[in-house]
Amino acid sequence: MNEPLLVLDTITKNFGAVQALKGVSFSIARGEVIALLGDNGAGKSTLVKIISGELEATSGQMTFEGRDFGPRSPSEAKAAGIETVYQDLSLCTNVDVVANFFMGREITRSVMGLKILDEAAMEEQVAKAMANAGTRIPSLRTKVEHLSGGQRQAIELNRFVHWGGKLVLLDEPFAALGVEQTKRGLEMIRQVAARGIGVVIITHIMQQAFQVADRMVVIRQGVVAGDMPTNQTNADAVIGMITGEALAGAGPATGA
Ligand SMILES: Nc1ncnc2c1ncn2[C@@H]1O[C@H](COP(=O)(O)OP(=O)(O)OP(=O)(O)O)[C@@H](O)[C@H]1O
């Protein structure tokens, strides 16, 4: 049962002459939150896109739940339970929360031989999912365009969990959010992980990484420059790994 959720083994990615990833290996356990850190251009987004099926690796292997994994499209990754959650890019803003939750998976019932949407049943399921996650939205019939960035993110994460997601990828999820919404977002990530879901979060904000992650993986110039449990490192050591000025294997943490 202790097998990792996702294993990356010597992943490379070339864009023409640019070697964006030069052999990246690490793994993610169920229920683990990994902060993926690195300077601009280090290769973080490329890596996340390979996991989510938006890009194909040039070489290397991945296994997901012990099986070979190499999604050729985001929908293949999604079918396996892996998804990137964007703040609002994948929500339809001109329809309400319930419609977004069920997009493509609507519950229908039959009335005189005609299939119609079972709005009441759908609303009940969304309300339950939101309540379980402690997310409060004034009305589930509100169009998403009237909701805040934080609320939209909460809807996306709830939807992911509800439909059996196993590994969620978040690329700078709080870039456009205020302090309070960021705090709630970080709490929500911990709740998602507590359900056994793996989480990979790209962030440039060290404090967020230390607040939410179990492990830090630092990418520098396309290779893993550091991979350590959060409680065994500190901000100075991580910054050193990001910039390449680290004393290799920077000693034990003295506090973040
Ligand atoms: N589609 C592409 N075509 C060509 N080069 C690319 C492409 N995507 C990324 N790169 C290059 O690959 C390298 C890694 O980029 P990537 O976006 O993965 O970095 P990142 O760590 O996510 O950076 P940032 O924090 O700035 O988003 C960079 O040198 C970038 O210019």
Q: What is the pLDDT of residues 36-49, one digit of tens each?
A: 999 999 999 999 99
Residue pointed to by tokens 């996650």: 133
Collapsed DSSP state (helix, strand, coil) of residue 64: strand
Q: Is residue 220 one of the residues assigned to a domain? A: yes
Q: Is residue 248 one of the residues assigned to a domain? A: no
pLDDT at 166: 97
pLDDT at 256: 41
Q: How many domains, the chain? A: 1
Residues 78 and 165: their CA atoms lie apart, in Å, by 8
Q: Is residue 1 one of the residues assigned to a domain? A: no
Residue 105 Cα to ligand 1 middle (Å): 34
Going by C-alpha positions, the residue among 32, 1, 43, 22 that lies closest to residue 202 is 43
pLDDT at 155: 87
Q: Is residue 46 one of the residues assigned to a domain? A: yes
Q: Is residue 49 one of the residues assigned to a domain? A: yes
Rounded to 10 degrees, the C-alpha dihedral 184/186/192/196 comes to -150
Q: Is residue 155 one of the residues assigned to a domain? A: no
Pocket of ligand 1 (CB under 6 A): 15, 18, 20, 38, 40-46
Q: What is the pLDDT of residues 221-240, one digit of tens each?
A: 999 999 999 999 999 999 99
The answer to whether 117 and 145 are in contact (CB under 8 A) is no
pLDDT at 250: 47
Going by C-alpha positions, the residue among 159, 155, 212 that lies closest to residue 182 is 212
Residue pointed to by tokens 């070339």: 14
Residue 22 Cα to ligand 1 middle (Å): 13
- Do β-strands 167-171 and 82-84 pair in parallel, antiparallel, or remain unpaired? parallel
Domain that includes residue 230, residue range:
6-91+164-243
Tens digits of pLDDT across the chain (256 residues): 578 999 999 999 999 999 999 999 999 999 999 999 999 999 999 999 999 999 999 999 999 999 999 999 999 999 999 998 875 567 788 889 999 888 877 888 888 888 888 889 999 999 988 887 777 888 999 898 898 888 888 888 888 888 889 999 998 888 878 888 888 889 989 999 999 999 999 999 999 999 999 999 999 999 999 999 999 999 999 999 999 986 544 444 444 4
Q: What is the pLDDT of residues 190-209, one digit of tens each?
A: 999 999 999 999 999 999 99
For residue 83, the domain's CATH number is: 3.40.50.300
Interface ipTM = 0.96
Specify the residue with its C-alpha closest to ligand 1, atom 9. Answer: 46
- % of the chain surpassing 70 pLDDT: 93
The answer to whether 233 and 251 are in contact (CB under 8 A) is no
What does the block give as tokens for 40? 């601009």
Q: For residue 204, which atom of ligand 1 is closest to its CA? A: 25
Residues 98 and 118: their CA atoms lie apart, in Å, by 11
Question: How is the beta sheet containing 67-68 ordered, strand by strand?
Answer: 18-28, 6-15, 59-64, 67-68
What does the block give as tokens for 49? 């896109």
What DSSP character marks residue 196?
T
Residue 26 Cα to ligand 1 middle (Å): 19
Residue 39 Cα to ligand 1 middle (Å): 11
pLDDT at 196: 95
Q: Is residue 250 one of the residues assigned to a domain? A: no
Q: Where are the alpha helices (DSSP H) in the chain?
A: 44-51, 74-80, 97-102, 119-132, 149-162, 179-194, 206-212, 235-243
pLDDT at 203: 92
Q: Is residue 135 one of the residues assigned to a domain? A: no
